[in-house]
Amino acid sequence: MTEIADKTARYVADFEAFARNGASGAPAWLRELRQGAIARFSELGFPTTKQEEWRFTSVAPIADARFTLQHAARSPLPGHADIERLCVGAGPRVVFVDGRHVPALSTPAELTGGARAGSLAAALRTGADSELTRTHLARHARWRDSAFAALNTAFLADGAFVHVPADVTLGQPLEVVFLSTGQSGSDGPIVSHPRSLIVVERGARAVVVETYAGLSDGVYWSNAVTEVAVGEGARVEVYRVQQEGPRGLQIATTHSRQERDSYLGLHVLTLGAALARHDINAVLDGPGAELILNGLYLLSGGQHADHHTVIDHAQPHCASHEFFNGVLAERAHGVFNGRIIVRPGAQRTDSKQTNNNLLLSTEARADSQPQLEIYADDVKCTHGSTVGPIDQTQLYYLRSRGLSPEAARSILTYGFGAEILDRMQHPDVRERLDRLVRARLG
Amino acid sequence: MSKSKHPLLQVKNLHATAEGREILKGVDLTVNTGEVHAIMGPNGSGKSTLAQVLAGHPAYAVTAGQVLYEGKDLLAMPPEERAREGVFLAFQYPVAIRGITNAYFLRSAVNAIRKHRGDEELGPVEFMDALDEKLKAIGWDSSYLTRPVNDGFSGGEKKRNEILQLAVLDPKLAILDETDSGLDIDALKTVARTVDKLRRPDNATVLVTHYYRILTHIEPDLVHVLAGGKIVKSGGKELALELEEKGYDWLREEAVVA
């Protein structure tokens, strides 16, 4: 057996046990989907740094270890206080612990206007929601291209299910919280595969906050996939806060597809995990769609975080504005790869991408790679990236106004993050994220 | 310090280099309290270098000479200490800082200086109250306070922002480095009026300028011509008018002859 096959074989074996036990009640289409996905995972194997897309990020800490599914609900439940600390407000929330939905910590799934926010496992079982999941689930995520998304799809069991029917406006931000206890099972550290589906129909409006957080300094792996479908003329803001534990490993993919004249603001704040990789694949699939992709990573110690984004302009007259800033202290390593594809016929595309990295130590490192692939001629595409220490001219300007070098550095560092925070439209969410950023930067 | 007129700034034989090139070649200048000085001169004569050396720009190295500010060694102070002691430079090219609002920046600066003076720091509300009148003076509404510092500001807006800082920080020694350049006549009048209002018997202003225009709004007590890294001529306000009419070339010839 080759080494790759050996590493994937454990998961294939786990899958067979999973397919026999907990997953047996699933509809036929889902069983088929899972079978296809595990086969694809087995073919692809874990990526290595020899692959272009993984050049700067080694997943050896995942591939070389043995992570098992948490079969029984053994995890000790966190208290309400733990959840409160992670939430923006007292609005609707859906809480998962080690990948399992916890109704006791969640609000009822029924929201105003017929909207629902609950567990995907439940949605898969019932009539109308089951149809909806069948229409959307795994239709947006390109799991065939990614071993991790394929593995998530193979073990697809639970996660958040959000449905906002046409022309309904959610009054408050909806919060989806994925907690990892970091407690090992009898077979060693555990993995969870949270799978979320957010469907916002034509003309609807919603704000969704996804939080991934670790409750201890234990080793665990979280392999998440979220699919977001934005209907015609809908306006959606998705905030994703990653506060995994210091030894947590997180691989995640967010896939979005937008129909015509829709707006999606996708905001990312990456603070946690020893190793994090977040792939964002956004497809602008209807004329007049607009996307704001706005991210901030604050890393220190030996943290490594890699953001790979692909913005696919599949239709004409769409706009995408992407801003990612990184603040890297100590030995941290930040990777940004931003690909923009403008398909043939996607005329009048307006696309802007920037990635700025602030290095707070000589040992910190940032790799920034923009990639433009343009197959239409009437387009406006710009990109730029910077990597460097604090700007000496800015530092001097602040000092010339009486600020100490320490205060000036702190202001400039915060400004790097605030620039991203300022684009977050929901005031309560922005305020909470601002507090997290301030706490992090001290 | 007594209320009567006394030297606030004494520059003695100041030599300074940038990237190894000598730009200031022995500048002598004394500015007393209650005075307005204009420093004029052709491009590249060292005007901005002098202004930046006085504020403590790290890119310039002082190779000889001395600068006393209220009798203390100014050059020994880091830039923030100079600011806290009452030295203010209005930058020729103000620096943009993304992500930080003008209000936060201004309040941080005010509080750094207040703290140094032993005054209580101002909270956001008190600060806004104190700022209101100064904003009006430069013809601004509060929308400029919520914008990031100088980010996306026009040239004129950046200059006004420097003057707003000047008004808010109320320094003893204000150095304006070509604040008049690039301003339209209305903006120039607003700036000049604000600067003029800040004149007191216990403070002083140094206007570094290329043009006579601003001096018709802020009348200088003394005009100096800086050329080739030295002050080659000093005189009353009539010297500015003479420069306006004759340019700078005659001074170079005069310097050579002398």
In this predicted structure, the answer to whether residue B172 has a pLDDT above a threshold of 50 is yes
How many domains is chain B built from? 1
Tell me if residue A12 falls in helix, strand or coil.
helix
Residue of A403, A437, A441 to mutate, testing the B interface (most B Cβ within 10 Å of its Cβ): A403
CA distance A265 to chain B (A): 19
| Alpha carbons B69 and B5: distance in angstroms, whole number | 14
Question: What integer pLDDT is reported at residue A72 of this predicted model?
Answer: 55
Angle between helices A392-399 and B102-117 (to 10 degrees): 50
Q: Examine residue B1 and state whether it is found in any structural domain, yes or no.
A: no
Cα nearest neighbour of A406 on chain B: B80
Residue B49 scores a pLDDT above 90: yes
Sheet holding B173-177, edge to edge: B87-90, B173-177, B204-209, B36-40, B222-227, B230-235
Say if CB B236 and CB B33 are below 8 A apart.
no
**Interface contact A417, partner B, CB < 8 A:** yes
Average pLDDT for A101-111: 93
Yes or no: say if B55 and B86 are a contact pair by the CB < 8 Å rule: no
At A242, list the tokens. 């990653």
Residue type, B228: G
Q: Looking at residue A218, what is its pLDDT?
A: 94
- The residue-averaged pLDDT of A225-230 equals 97
Read off the pLDDT of residues A360-391 as tens digits, 9 standing for 90 and up. Answer: 999 999 999 999 999 999 999 999 999 999 99
Is the confidence at residue A236, as pLDDT, over 90?
yes
Interface test with A, best of B80, B114, B177 (most A CBs within 10 A): B80
pLDDT at position A25 is 73
Here the CATH number for the domain that contains residue B142 is 3.40.50.300
A420 contacts on B by Cβ (under 8 Å): 99
| Mean pLDDT in residue range B139-151 | 92
Average pLDDT rounded to a whole number, residues A329-356: 97
Helix-strand-coil percent breakdown of chain B, rounded to 5? 40, 30, 30
Residue A308 resides in a domain: no
Q: How far apart are CA B198 and CA B202, in angstroms?
A: 10
Write down the pLDDT at residue A259: 98
One-letter amino acid of B1: M
For B117, the token pair is 């003076």
Cβ–Cβ under 8 Å, residues A226 and A210: yes
pLDDT tops 60 at residue B141? yes
Q: Which residue has the tokens 């234990």?
A: A218
pLDDT in tens, B68-78: 999 999 999 99
> Total domain count for chain A?
2
Is B2 contained in some domain? no
Identify the closest residue of chain B to A392 by CA–CA distance: B58
Tokens of A38: 């595990």
Please check whether residue B82 touches A, CB under 8 A: yes
Tell me which residue range forms the domain holding B40: 7-257
Distance from C-alpha of B210 to C-alpha of A374, rounded to nearest angstrom: 48
Which domain-ending residue is among A247, A267, A286? Answer: A286
User: Around A397, how many Cα atoms within 13 Å sit in the side-chain half-sphere?
Assistant: 21
**Mean pLDDT in residue range A394-409:** 97
Please tell me the distance from the alpha carbon of residue A131 to that of residue A29, in angstroms, as a whole number: 11
Nearest to B102 by CA among B92, B114, B113, B94: B94
CA distances, B58 to each of A186, A405, B11, B61 (Å) = 61, 13, 18, 7
Nearest to B100 among A396, A405, A415 (CB): A415
Q: Can you give the pLDDT at residue A77?
A: 82
The shares of helix, strand and coil residues in chain A, as percent rounded to the nearest 5, are 30, 40, 35
Does residue B103 form part of some domain?
yes
Which pLDDT band, with edges at 50, 70 and 90, does A7 fall under? Answer: confident
Distances (CA, A) of A358 to A292, B70, B149, B161: 22, 39, 19, 26
The partner residues of B37 in beta bridges, in order of sequence, read: B206, B222
Distance from CA of A425 to the nearest CA of B (A): 15
Residue B43 within a domain = yes
Both A277 and A408 in one domain: the answer is no
In a domain, A364, yes or no: no
Give per-residue pLDDT as tens, A287-298. Answer: 999 999 999 999
In a domain, A386, yes or no: no
Residue A263 lies in a domain: yes
Taking Cα atoms as reference points, which of A5, A65, A71 lies closest to residue A41?
Answer: A5
Assign B231 to helix, strand or coil. strand
Residue B101 lies in a domain: yes
Structure tokens that stand for B35 in this block: 């005075």
CA B7 to chain centre: 17
Residues of A in contact with B108 (CB under 8 A): 398, 401, 403, 407, 411
Tell me whether residues A411 and B82 touch, CB distance under 8 A: no
Measured between alpha carbons, how far apart are the two ends of chain B, in Å? Answer: 40
- Residue B11 inside a domain? The answer is yes
One domain for residues A277 and A402: no
- Any domain includes B59: yes
Separation CA B29–CA B17 (nearest Å): 18
Cβ contacts from A onto B, under 8 A: 82
Cβ contact A397–B91 (<8 Å): yes
| DSSP tally for chain A: helices H, then strands E | 10, 21
User: What ipTM was predicted for this assembly?
Assistant: 0.96
- Per residue in A8-39, pLDDT (tens digit) is 999 999 999 888 876 667 888 999 999 999 99
Residues linked to residue B230 through DSSP beta bridges, in sequence order: B227
Whole-number pLDDT of residue A26: 84
The Cβ of residue A125 has, within 10 Å, a number of other Cβ atoms equal to 14
Instruction: Assign residue B139 a region (left: φ > 0; alpha: ψ between -120 and 50; beta: otherwise).
Output: left
Least confident segment among A44-48, A69-73, A96-100, B114-118:
A69-73
Mean pLDDT, chain A, as a whole number? 94
Residue B258 reports pLDDT greater than 50 = no
Angle at CA of residue B244, ends B238 and B250, nearest 5°: 95
pTM equals 0.91
Both tokens of A217, joined, read: 């300094």
Q: How confident is the model at residue B254 (pLDDT cuts 50, 70, 90)?
A: low
Domain hosting A28: range is 3-286
Q: A6: how many CB neighbours lie within 10 A of its CB?
A: 10
Q: Where does the pLDDT of residue A276 fall: very low under 50, low under 70, confident under 90, or very high at 90 and above?
A: very high
Cα–Cα separations (whole angstroms), residue B233 to A50, B25, B26, B183: 70, 15, 13, 27
- Listed residues A268, A286, A304: the one ending a domain: A286
For chain B, what is the mean pLDDT? 92
Rg value, chain A, Cα: 21
Tell me how many degrees the CA angle A367-A358-A275 measures, rounded to the nearest 5.
Answer: 55
**Domain limit, last residue, from A257, A286, A315:** A286
